[in-house]
Structure 1
Amino acid sequence: TAQPEDNAIISIFRADAQDMPLTVRMLERHPLGSQAFIPLLGNPFLIVVAPLGDEPVSGLVRAFVTNGRQGINYHRGVWHHPVLTIEKRDDFLVVDRSGTGNNCDEHFFNEDEQLILAPHQ
């Protein structure tokens, strides 16, 4: 529920590529507001998401590659991995929420639940 002190904030985020294959060890969610990422350089990037719930289910995690020309918005409470760039370095415009209360929950998977992302050959 929105609070009077809630504000939308806009920032520029620089992301560095991770080594592939990548082990997905955690996901996060923002229970008090949505979060949007708009690519500034037109490069494809990775999206890793899981459905709403008290905690993410590793078997329901899905990964997608964007075309680099579209922004994404994670609905409030959707489990997702922090931004993952494919390029060595990439920049994003981020729209987020600022205000009171904890707006970031993190879930760390047990070793047997972790997922491996590998580039498609």
Structure 2
Amino acid sequence: MRSLTIEPLSKEAFAPFGDVIETEGSDFFMINNGSTRRYHKLATVQTAQPEDQAIISIFSAESLEMPLTIRMLERHPLGSQAFIPLLGNPFLIVVAPVGDVPVSGSVRAFLSNGRQGINYHRGVWHHPVLTIEKRDDFLVVDRSGSGNNCDEYFFNEDELLLLNPHQ
């Protein structure tokens, strides 16, 4: 079983999978009579059909036991999905490139510093939300509309991956 190396989350490293949502190093302009910095268009919501809507939800996630065997990934073929941490806690991200099925050899893992959110582009394979804390909350921006927007892929036994944030 291949052990995933956890990389620090950066815009450059995560670019093949989506956007990193953060203010650090991002351009801004002043609004509200100079009292507010607006970090504009840090990510773009993607939807497949004109009648789709971008929606905002809150996910309250519980941690999984680590080390974790990565047995499955999911993707959303009809829209992007963004996770923005609400409590400022670091969280883990496991992704694979867009394709018919994820290839275990191309799976990567990242660690958000807790001030960074992410926006998975349409069709990017990813593990469901992985909090390090016992419980954590995320603002989620994704798509609502008709059609199946969640495909799951379960790896064969010889493709399983190990995620160990304590290495």
Q: Do the structures match in fold with TM over 0.5?
A: yes
Secondary structure at the counterpart of residue 58 of structure 2: strand
Alignment of 1:1-121 (within 5 A): 2-121=48-167
**1:2 to partner: Cα distance:** 3.1
Look up the equivalent residue of 1:66 and give its one-letter code: S
In structure 2, distance between residues paired with 1:2 and 1:59:
29
State the Cα deviation string for residues 62-101 of structure 1 (Å, max 9, x = none): 0011100011000000000010000111000000100011
Could you say what the CA RMSD is over the residues aligned between the two structures, in angstroms? 1.0
* Structure 2 gap ranges (5+): 1-46
Q: State, as a whole percentage, how many aligned pairs show the same letter.
A: 86
Runs of 4+ in 1 over 4 A off after TM superposition: none
Larger Rg: 1 or 2? 2
Secondary structure at the counterpart of residue 59 of structure 1: helix
State the Cα deviation string for residues 91-116 of structure 1 (Å, max 9, x = none): 00000100011111110001111101
Aligned residues: 121
Specify which structure has the bigger relative contact order, considering alpha-carbon pairs within 8 angstroms and separated by 6 or more residues. Answer: 1
* Structure 1 gap ranges (5+): none
